[in-house]
Each structure stands twice: as C-alpha cells, then as structure tokens.
Chains A and B, each alone.
Chain A
Amino acid sequence: MPVWNIIQAVNDALRIEMRRDQRVVVLGEDVGKFGGVFRATTGLYDEFGPDRVFDTPLAEAGIIGSAVGMALYGLRPVPEIQFADFIYPAYDQIVNELAKFRYRSGGQYPCPVVIRTPYGGGIRGGHYHSQSPEAYFAHTPGLKVVIPSNPYDAKGLLLSAIRGEDPVIFMEPKRVYRAAKGEVPEGDYTVPLGQAKVVREGSQLTVLCYGAMVHTCVEAAQMAEKDGFDPEIIDLRTLLPLDAETVLTSVRKTGRVVIAHEAPKTCGYGAELAAMIAEKALLSLEAPINRVAGFDTPFPYTLENEYLPSPDRVALAIKQTAQF
C-alpha cells in the first residue's frame, strides 16, 4: 500500500471519481494546467481535458454560483476555493442558495456540490491564509461539513462526499497537507460521512478534535501519557452531521472533556459540542468542559504559534481536566 500525504490522497480521490463518473467536473482558480496552488488537482487537466477541469475568473461567487447551476443541470461539480479565507464572497451563494435549493424548492432541486477548500493556520499565512470558518457552515441548515485529518480519511471521505446527494463543505487541513502521511489503498473505497473515529483509546478523559488539531492532540496525549494520564482522542471527521453517539459513549465512559479547535472560541464549533454534551450527558460529567481554541482575535501573523492551540496547551488542559 502506498504511503501518501493528504494532497496525494485528495488528488487520487478526484481522479478515481472523474474516471468513474463523467458528471464530475473540477473548477476553480489555478486548478487547471497548473494543478492548484497546493497541487491537489495535479494531472487532472491532462487526463480529463479543459471541459472537465478548468480555471475560472477570479470570483468566488462565480465559482460557487456557476457550480450550483451545473449541479442543477445534472453535473457533479467539485469547485476549489483556493483558501477558506477567500470563501466569503461566495457566502450568499453557499448559505442562501446551495444549502437551500433542495429545501426551498420542496425537494425539486437537489444541489450536490462539494466545495473543497484548504483551511487553518500554522503556515505563516496571517489573517487571510489561516482562518477556520467551519462554524459558519455547520450553523447553516442544508450543508454537510467534513474535515479530514489524514490521507486515508481524506480520500475516503471525499469519495463519499462526491457520491452523496447533498452539498458538502470539505475543508482540508493545509498545515498537515504534506506532513500527515499514511497508508492509502490505491483503489476505490469510501469512509462514510457522519462517523467519528477514536484515534486513541483512553479511560480518563475525552479529547474532541478534527483536522490539523488531531495531530496536535495526539502529540499532547503523548506528553500527558508520560505524566501518567490516559486520554481518549476522537477525530470527529464530520462536523455535520455529527456522530453524537461516539462522542457521548466516550464522555459517559470518561466523564471529562477537552475540546480543541483553531477557530475562535466564542461560538466556535466547540461551543456546540459543549452544549450538546451538557444537554445529553451532564450527569456523567465530573469536571467542567475545557475548550482549547483560537483566541477571539483576528488570526495574527507573527504570533500565530501563540494563537494556535499547541500540544503544550492541550496537554495542560488534559492534565487540569483530569485532575479537577
């Protein structure tokens, strides 16, 4: 089995699905001949040609708006937004249009568009190349939100997303695009949406995370382990629909929760997780839920390592929560 990084896995998923399904098209800024600024669409233009892999004018509202129209006609567009920070010009098309087409037409118009976009900090990209806007989309009825942390999941989740009937925001953790390597089967397989994965079993507390933060949390767990702590780590993989069962099963077992994400703390996805746990498993809790998140400031450039939850910060939260 080849060892690939996330970019290679995404690229392979796109190639497999484009070979399998003529309706799949890839569009976005620089995704054609150039293969994308992160190289995720490398080689697709050469194999599938300019009708199925094409560069667009620089207008995110046009990329998503036109993708919506393509889906209405019966295609399966997979647009790329070059950085999640650039997605806001398309916000109306995503939130009012793409997400709502099926509902507002009484089920007449499904709109299966999968928007791929690299997100997150840690690449010295400052405010405009580092944001984590997942909560805006998880808050939008009609959208599924998927964030893989590793190559195996990236490929399997992307194939599931493109084969599904619903719009998906597929956020790729660009900090670990190349750093996260792993064995990836060469052929066709899927990882179902809406299923979390326990990446480290533990008895003492539950750490909830997704995307690049999974790697931070695993590192933090290794640090905490040396001091005798035993955290369980859950990679959510899909934020919406959330696999609440896996989360609650773990919380009922451990009674303690740490939540880690890069996005600002206030109204971040962790707030929803904390509320859900409080609603459904309050009596299992033995400590306050501890959120380790980005601070409620704009994403800073020079001080990004202070801003981002670090393994140290997560390890500290693990220890404090375990000892509460």
Chain B
Amino acid sequence: MLAKGQPAPIAGADDEPFSILADDGTIRPGTRAPEIPDEVARRLYRGMLQVRLVDDRMMKLQRQGRLGFAMSSLGEEATHFGAAYTLRDSDWIFPSYREPGVFFWRGYTLKDYVNQLHGNAEDPIKGRQMPVHHSANWLNIVSISSPVGTQIPQAAGLAMAARISKKDDCALVFFGEGTASTGQFHVGLNFAGVFKAPCIFFCRNNGWAISTPGNKQTAARSIAIKALAYGMPGIRVDGNDLLAVIAVMQDAVARARAGEGPTLIEAVTYRRGGHSSSDDPSVYRDPAEPKQWEAKDPLERWRRYLETRKLWTQELHDQYTQEITDELMAAVKRAGDLGNPPVESMFDDVFSEIPPHLQEQKAELMSLPRAKPQHGGH
C-alpha cells in the first residue's frame, strides 16, 4: 500500500491508485497537493471543459454524416492536462489517439483541430490521415499512429537522443492498457530502462480496448507493476484526479531531468464513451458500469476543488462554454466551407523531393478526369 501523505510516491506499483482529491473536491487528509496558481487552475478547468465540448460536437457532426470518424475522451480529460501541464515546451509528447487535451494545452487551435478532422485544404497534415491523427511539430507533438504501441520505442529513442545531445528535455508517451500487451511496449520500456532515457510512459488504463476488458490484457495485478521488469519505478495514480496526476508527473519529470531515467505511470480511469464513433459499447458492457464512473468525473471533481479555492462560479463556467462554443462553431463552419487539399499535393512529402517515377504518376493523375468527391469528409 502507498503510505498516505507521502508526496507523490514514485517507488512501487501498488494496487491502490494514488489520489489527492476526494470525489467531493477536497484534499484527502494527510496528502500534500501540488501548488497550482489560480489562473492555471482555471485554465486547466477550461481545457478539460473544451475537450468535453469539442468531443460532444464532433460526435454529433459524425452522426450527421459531416465527419467520417470521431473519438471521445469522456471521463479521461484529467490525464491529458495533468500530464501536459508538467512539461516544458521543449519536451516532446507522443500521443495515442485519445489525448486531444495535450494538443490544446500547447496551443493547438480549434481551427487546427477541426480542419484535421475534415482533412481539408488547411488541415495541418494536408488530408493525409483519417480524423484524430493529429500532428503538430511546432508544438513538439509527434504524429499519431493507429497501430498501437509503435510510438513507445520512438519516444524512448527520442529521449535517448536528448540525452546523447546533452539536453535535459524529456519525452512523454501515451498509450492504453491494451497497448501494454504489445511487443512495442516491452521493447520501448526495455530500451528506456537500459539507456536510462528521460522518458515517461503514461498508460491511460481506461478499462477497455474496444470491447476487450483490461482483465483480458494481462494476468499481472497492475500495469504499473510491469515497470519492475524494466528497472524503473512504476506508479498507479487515480487518472480522474488532476492533482494526483500532476503530482506523479512532476516527480517523474524531475527524475527524468536529473538523469535518473524513465518512469511508468498507470493512470486508472474509465472510457465512458465508445472506442470511437464506429463502436457501440451497449453490445458488450453493462451500462451501469460507465454510470458508476460518473461519480468520479474528473471535470466535476476539479470544479468542486476550484470551488473550495473560490475560483469557480457558474458565470465563469458559462463564459468559458460560450467562448469555446463560439470558437468551435466558427471553426466548424469554416472547415466545412474549405475545399480539399490540391490533388497534386498527393505526391508531396513521400520523399524530400519528388523522384521521376512519382513525377510520372503525378502527371498521369493530373491528366485524368477528377474523381467524385467523397461525402461526409471521408
């Protein structure tokens, strides 16, 4: 068991997730909360609220046939912000596909976000990938990949490179508990352990990999405990407790910067929505289960915490909601009006320069009649 009251314990991988905020938003007795300045505490609230509002709207657009695909982070927002908040801008983030909050925290605009989902002419990745596969090199956030886990050894390698370059930057990599079953998880953590890479492995254990529950992924009693096999500390944290996530991340970042190597964090949370817009969880799980997790909602818990600090009012919430909604609706309208990326751009970025065989194929495509535009974005 974790000793209650320890400042963000980092050694061990106990069954009981480390927590600071009680469900009612009060600090658990005997725990030491990280100090969050007032303005930052409000920004974190606004950020989580933004993810929630954006997810809701994108899912509706998908249902209306205006987007090909969407994903929701409902109930997991604290993991995005608790992790991203503790990093410097020069640190690197390798997201999985369910952490839009890390993009927003670093300044990815709603325009960027919505344009990517539309794959339109202003999509930062030029319509190259289906919705949710963002990439923002100007924010040190790496392109998202669908095959789960490939980002894990890459993050380890980037952290190794920082160390080789004598910089104290670190890498943060997200993945789910299902991904902890992959060989890439093993390979990435093993490399990072051996090279003492300044890498933070952040597992969002949300209980479900599409329809497969966590107990079908591993016989180990936690994900965090696997850290022992790689010679690094592992810790379970309440992923719906923003303060606790911040606390364990701060410790992990400090270790990484000090040259003490990687950390595995298992944030225990719950995927209250489906895997994606293509999923129907009612087929495979008891609807009472997500209902139970509503009581642990990270946004509501943070709201109550802000109330204890007299930082939250209904007016402020309404103001944030209005601002975000206005910005979002403007971005959606604009995204729908923008056309596709130019046809000839299909041949850019395969290589640094277009080689002869692609020049030839490009000329062939441009000489053909244009294909019918696709509906619903994709």
Task: List A residues at the B interface (Cβ < 8 Å).
Answer: 25, 51-52, 54, 56-57, 59, 61-62, 64-70, 72-75, 77, 89, 92-93, 96-97, 101-110, 141-142, 144, 164-166, 194, 240-242, 244-245
Contacts and interface: CB of A to CB of B under 8 A. Distances in A.
B160 interface: yes
Interface stretch (B235-243, B307-315, B328-336, B343-351): B343-351
B143 A70 contact: no
Interface in B158-196: 158-162, 164-165, 171, 183-184, 187-188, 190-191, 194-195
A141 B155 CA distance: 24
Contacts of B120: none
A68 B347 CA distance: 22
Given A69-B157, A96-B145, A110-B352, 16 more contacts: A56-B191, A62-B187, A65-B153, A65-B154, A69-B153, A72-B92, A72-B154, A73-B92, A74-B161, A75-B161, A105-B137, A106-B126, A106-B128, A106-B349, A108-B138, A142-B350
A102 B349 contact: yes
Contacts of A165: 351-352
Interface in B109-161: 123-126, 128-129, 133, 135-138, 142-143, 145, 147, 150, 152-161
A96 B150 contact: yes
B191 A105 contact: no
B155 A69 contact: yes
Given A57-B194, A66-B156, A66-B160, A194 B137 contact: no
Contacts of A104: 125, 128-129, 133, 135, 143, 145
A65 B157 contact: yes
Nearest to B136: A108
Contacts of B161: 69-70, 72-75
A222 to B, nearest CB: 33
A70 B352 contact: no
A77 B156 CA distance: 14
The 5 A-B residue pairs with the shortest CB-CB distance in the complex, in nearest-first order: A69-B157, A65-B153, A66-B157, A106-B125, A69-B158
8 contacts: A57-B187, A62-B190, A65-B150, A65-B156, A66-B156, A69-B156, A97-B145, A103-B350
Contacts of A66: 153-154, 156-157, 160, 188, 191
Contact of B188 (A65, A107, A110): A65
Contacts of A103: 128, 349-350
A151 to B, nearest CB: 26
Contacts of A110: 352
Q: Bin the interface of chain B by size.
A: 35 or more
Given A106-B349, A241-B357, A242-B357, A70 B160 contact: yes
A62 to B, nearest CB: 4
Nearest to A142: B350
Contacts of B37: none
Contacts of B142: 72, 109
The listed residue with most B CB atoms (<10 A of its CB), out of A57, A73, A92, A165, is A73
Interface string B247-266: 00000000000000000000
Given A69-B156, A166-B351, A109 B137 contact: yes
A51 to B, nearest CB: 5
A141 B350 CA distance: 7
B164 A61 contact: no
**Chain A residues touching B, majority SS:** mixed
Interface string B57-68: 000000000000
B355 interface: yes
B157 A68 contact: yes
A106 B135 contact: yes
Contact of A57 (B123, B125, B160, B190): B190
B356 interface: yes
A294 B188 CA distance: 36
Contacts of B162: 73
B264 to A, nearest CB: 16
Nearest to B123: A106
Contacts of B171: 69
Contacts of B135: 104-106, 108-109
B165 A75 contact: yes
B317 to A, nearest CB: 35
Contacts of A244: 356-357
B268 to A, nearest CB: 27
A111 B123 CA distance: 21
Contacts of B350: 102-103, 141-142
B150 A62 contact: no
A93 to B, nearest CB: 6
Nearest to A62: B187
A241 B135 CA distance: 28
A21 to B, nearest CB: 13
Contact of B183 (A61, A67, A70): A61
Contacts of B349: 102-103, 106-107
B147 A96 contact: yes
A139 to B, nearest CB: 13
Contact of A107 (B126, B152, B157, B194): B126
Interface string B335-371: 0000000000000111110011100000000000000
B351 to A, nearest CB: 5
Given A62-B187, A103-B350, A244-B356, A68 B165 contact: no
A108 B126 CA distance: 10
Contacts of B195: 54
Nearest to B193: A57
A69 B137 contact: no
Nearest to A143: B351
Contacts of B136: 108
A50 to B, nearest CB: 10
Nearest to A75: B161
Contacts of B128: 103-106
Nearest to A59: B187
A75 B164 contact: yes
A150 B191 CA distance: 35
B164 A52 contact: yes
A89 B187 CA distance: 11
Contacts of A106: 123-126, 128, 135, 349
